[in-house]
Structure 1
Amino acid sequence: MKKMLVILGFISISHSVFAEDYGFYAGLNIGIGKADFNTPNGLDKSRSLVSGLVLGYKLNQYFGVEGQYTGIGKVTDNVSGSAKADALSLSAIGYLPVNEEFNLYGKLGVAATKSTVSSSLSPMNDASRTSVTYGFGGQYNLNKDIGMRLGWDHYNAAVDMSSGNKHNINANVVSVGVVYNF
């Protein structure tokens, strides 16, 4: 019985220490990016596997800031042309603790995107765009150091047209990832 009380006491102490664990974290994610983009030759593939890196700082149990570099999608047309975009973002992140192991989160920030277009998609050209980004998800903390995430993020990208106009693109990314708390 005493051993059981000691074990329960240790678990209780470790959970309270875990709940106050704030600071820097870094992570990796992998997911599916889907760009809302049509090519002149028709789409063959509008979803692609994407990956990214996350670096953040949790100020307290409710707020933090997060930087992320991620792919946001690649489309391929029927004649083998392609357009691909990546994003670098900085967001405020708000956490809603459900219990000591699980948080819901929401993000709002700014993202700089860079689109790369293959030469076979003429009259489209590479372009950059800076705009608002947002997302939400959930994080399950396996222990005080490692958490698993499932999230959705929205980005805006663009391609330049030879006519001088920009064609704006919406992109959505659904990803799973792992974060490590320092």
Structure 2
Amino acid sequence: MKKALIVAGLLSISSSAFASSDLSKFYILGGVSDIEESDSDESRTGFNIILGGEVTDNVALETAFYRADIDEKVYGVNVDASVSAITVAPVIYFDLNENFTLLGKAGVAYGFSEAKGCSMGYCASESDNETAFTYGAGLQLNYEKFALRFSYDKYSGDYYDFNVMSASVGARF
């Protein structure tokens, strides 16, 4: 319950920052993510959606959603699973020149997973969730109102420990 209140509080702060910011400083990105568990060599391809609002010229507040679905056979059992995360983090930008920007961020992530397996008519399911620390870095190419971002994010908690590599495109409004 305490974790849910923390996430709800951060989301409300995030939405307040977006509401009070100039709409010309609002942006949205979407793209492809490679999500890998830190203790495994396996990775899954998923997607991401990022909403951001600039607070100053070099600081923004972002809310992001990441998801990867898994559909495979493990030891003869058909397994359908998904791993998702919702994040809220301040982002600091360092302009290298007019077109290239380095970025760094640190914040909180709410991760959740669901899995269902069926074999010979018997099915079982499980779900889990956790609030965790997240941090990341990236390089963004800016062209007029458009952006291409390559980023690395780390989600580290008691149960979840993921590395996420992403390529995203978007626009500033």
- Fold similarity call, TM over 0.5: yes
The separation in 2 between residues aligned to 1:114 and 1:58, in whole angstroms, is 28
Please, which of 44, 60, 65 is the counterpart of residue 64 of structure 1? 60
> Superposed, which structure 2 residues align to 1:42-53 within 5 Å?
46-53=42-49
Offset of residue 60 of structure 1 = 2.4
> Superposed, which structure 2 residues align to 1:9-158 within 5 Å?
23-36=25-38, 46-71=42-67, 74=70, 78-79=74-75, 80-119=78-117, 125-143=126-144, 145-156=145-156
Please say if residues 37 and 75 of structure 1, whose CA atoms lie closer than 8 Å, have aligned partners that are also in contact: no
Report SS of the residue matched to 2:107: strand
The count of corresponding residues between Structure 1 and Structure 2 is: 146
Offset of residue 72 of structure 1 = 5.4
Q: Which amino acid aligns with 1:92?
A: P
* 4+ residue runs over 6 A deviation: none
Please say if residues 140 and 149 of structure 2, whose CA atoms lie closer than 8 Å, have aligned partners that are also in contact: yes
CA distances 1:80-109 after superposition (whole Å, capped 9, x unpaired) = 435421001110000111011110001111
What is the alpha-carbon root mean square deviation over aligned residues?
Answer: 2.8
The separation in 2 between residues aligned to 1:169 and 1:75, in whole angstroms, is 20
Quick one: structure 1 residues 88 and 153, their matched pair in 2 at CA, closer, same or farther if it must change by over 3 Å? Answer: same
The separation in 1 between residues aligned to 2:24 and 2:98, in whole angstroms, is 13
Structure 1: where are the runs of 5+ without partners? 1-20, 39-44, 159-167
> Superposed, which structure 2 residues align to 1:150-169 within 5 Å?
150-156=150-156, 168-169=159-160
The separation in 1 between residues aligned to 2:79 and 2:42, in whole angstroms, is 12
Please say if residues 27 and 55 of structure 1, whose CA atoms lie closer than 8 Å, have aligned partners that are also in contact: yes
Offset of residue 29 of structure 1 = 1.5
Offset of residue 123 of structure 1 = 8.5
Identity of aligned residues (%): 23
The separation in 2 between residues aligned to 1:74 and 1:119, in whole angstroms, is 11
The separation in 2 between residues aligned to 1:125 and 1:37, in whole angstroms, is 20
Report SS of the residue matched to 1:126: strand
The separation in 2 between residues aligned to 1:88 and 1:75, in whole angstroms, is 22
Quick one: structure 1 residues 119 and 46, their matched pair in 2 at CA, closer, same or farther if it must change by over 3 Å? Answer: same
Quick one: structure 1 residues 33 and 172, their matched pair in 2 at CA, closer, same or farther if it must change by over 3 Å? Answer: same
Structure 2 residue aligned with 1:7: none
Please say if residues 54 and 61 of structure 2, whose CA atoms lie closer than 8 Å, have aligned partners that are also in contact: yes
Structure 2: where are the runs of 5+ without partners? 1-22
